[in-house]
Amino acid sequence: MAFLFERSNKKKVLFVAPEAAPFVKAGGLGDVVFALPRALQALGYDVRVMIPLYAGIDKEKFHLTMEMKGLEVPTGVENATPTEPSHLICNVKKFTSKSTADRMPVTAYFLENQEYYEKRSNVYGYSDDVVRWNLLCRGTLEFLRLSNDWLPDVIISNDWQTGFLSNYLRTEYKNDQRLKKIATIFVIHNLYYQGMFDHRYVADLDYDDGQSAMPSFYDQRIYKINGMRRGIMYSDKICTVSPTYSREIMTKDYGELLDDLLKEKRAHVSGILNGIDYDVLNPETDVNLAANYTSKNLENRTKNKLELQARFNLPQNKDVPLFCIISRFVEQKGFDLFFHSLEAVVKELKCQLVILGSGDAKYMGYFKELTERLPEQVSVHLTFDTTLPRLIFGGADIILVPSKFEPCGLTQIEAMRYGVIPIVRRTGGLADSVIDYNPKTGNGTGFTFDNFDSLSLALTMARACENYKNKETWRKIQRSAMLQDFSWLKSAEEYAKLINKAIVAHKK
């Protein structure tokens, strides 16, 4: 296997994030911080993770040992008071993974603090979140500074919540003999979110240029600090979750007011497509399916299609084109394109549509009304469900992903793994993962369109349905989609190169 190292030459890597499965997971970031470290470890890296110790983490399932007790984390306060202390007291606990076999996570550290983590029932959503993330960042560095044991060569921080870490490392700790050797990589999962404020409507007095010193934990200015900007400014390398997105964010349309800064850092910005877990997402073994199958016996999918239609109370018909939507209902996902044309398109194409998701009320209301108007063709499930996505992947023919922007997107990749053909707008990770079908060459894994408008989407849906009528053509597209390699191991090989580049850049 590529990039294997002798034990003495292993590169040591620490991921710092607000969440990591299986300990705690609130979104897709938790999956990434579980799977990517495992894949890097398989390539020979010594990889560990650090997250807060939340109350919801199962301490019986994951046996934790005390790694460092009474860690004093500076708050930045100069004149301490009982209500604004100069230090917060934390513990660091450790989960030791003897092996990542059987889907075990890598070795993990947990920053323990009762007030900011253990008294909270959720990962996100508190008015003092920015203080919680600053405590994580500075607590991580204090722990590494005082530990006599393991020290990473590279720290990989993730999104605005941990963008402060590189800032602290290059300012407060720049002369520390132990920490100044550490290189940094900042991963942008979604540039749209930059802090606890709307970065597009910040008053001049509150604008953070990234140059000023970090405020104390108790200074109200800390709530206006742009963690995304500072992560980009102070890190050795910046990585986005797809190559196309790394280029798009250097434009005014996608740059979220950071495009000029990103263009300045262009030489240090790259994009690596996220992966999926091929062991879990496997139609050959998935217990949620009525019938298992591979790319070699796609006819078995018919049983899943009929089961899916029955579950969603639609007429059972193996020959009708069955579209699906599996998504959060937010503006980013491009659902505004449906308002003026989807009903007419579904009627004209004589297709079916199943919808799974929840989110903004305007989209939920629209899909509910569409179901009421077309009960024989459209069905919707508007609550979270853990098993329905697999059933949909196993039986649907086409998935709609018309995103306005998409840093990476995993739904289209997961769908292709199951032989569901994606219709996507050519942006971000969608452009990097879906190959538009070309009838002249017979190559392609899905159908793409460029313009963000309802007509482009409608025409692409019609094009997909025309190709669906030719079963031989359709099977070829399905097989091509299913045989694509979006494994985490492939992504990890690219991260391995980036880690080495970060180490070299940091030494310059």
Greater pLDDT, 99 or 208: 208
Express as a percent the part of the chain with pLDDT over 70: 98
- The mean pLDDT value of the chain amounts to 95
The second-level CATH assignment, the architecture, of 7-275+489-507 is 3-Layer(aba) Sandwich (3.40)
Of the pLDDT bands very low, low, confident and very high (cuts 50, 70, 90), residue 19 is very high
Mean pLDDT of all residues in 330-338: 97
**Model pLDDT, residue 6:** 38
**Model pLDDT, residue 497:** 97
Of the pLDDT bands very low, low, confident and very high (cuts 50, 70, 90), residue 30 is very high
**Model pLDDT, residue 7:** 39
Show me where the domains of the chain are located: 7-275+489-507, 298-485
363-389: pLDDT as tens digits: 999 999 999 999 999 999 998 788 899
Give CA–CA dist 267/254, Å, rounded. Answer: 19
List all residues 6 or more positions away from 283 whose beta carbon is below 8 Å from its beta carbon.
Answer: 289, 292, 293, 294, 393, 394, 417, 418, 419, 482
Give CA–CA dist 281/398, Å, rounded. Answer: 17
List all residues 6 or more positions away from 485 whose beta carbon is below 8 Å from its beta carbon.
Answer: none
List all residues 6 or more positions away from 483 whose beta carbon is below 8 Å from its beta carbon.
Answer: 295
**Model pLDDT, residue 457:** 98
**Model pLDDT, residue 168:** 98
**Model pLDDT, residue 9:** 65
Instruction: Report the relative pairing of strands 46-52 and 269-271 from DSSP bridges.
Output: unpaired
H helices of 355-487, in order, are 361-373, 388-395, 411-417, 428-433, 454-468, 471-482
59-86: pLDDT as tens digits: 889 999 999 999 999 999 999 999 999 9
**Model pLDDT, residue 5:** 40
Backbone angles phi, psi at 112, to 5 degrees: -105, 125
Mean pLDDT of all residues in 183-212: 95
Does residue 67 sit in helix, strand or coil?
strand
Give CA–CA dist 395/308, Å, rounded. Answer: 6
Burial class (CB in 10 A: 0-12, 13-18, 19+), 408: buried
Q: Choose among 389, 218, 378: nearest CA to 312.
A: 378
Q: Which range, of 146-150, 293-297, 316-320, averages the lowest pLDDT?
A: 146-150
222-248: pLDDT as tens digits: 999 999 999 999 999 999 999 999 999
Do 7-275+489-507 and 298-485 agree at the fold level? yes
47-56: pLDDT as tens digits: 999 999 999 9
**Model pLDDT, residue 121:** 81
Question: Residue for token digits 């739904």?
Answer: 411
Q: What is the pTM of this model?
A: 0.94
Of the pLDDT bands very low, low, confident and very high (cuts 50, 70, 90), residue 2 is very low
| CATH value of 298-485 in 1.10.10.10, 3.40.640.10, 3.40.50.2000, 3.20.20.80 | 3.40.50.2000
Give CA–CA dist 425/270, Å, rounded. Answer: 22
Mean pLDDT of all residues in 176-194: 97
What residue type is 460 in one-letter code? T
Beta bridge partners of 72: 89
449-473: pLDDT as tens digits: 999 999 999 999 999 999 999 999 9
Of the pLDDT bands very low, low, confident and very high (cuts 50, 70, 90), residue 123 is very high
Of the pLDDT bands very low, low, confident and very high (cuts 50, 70, 90), residue 3 is very low
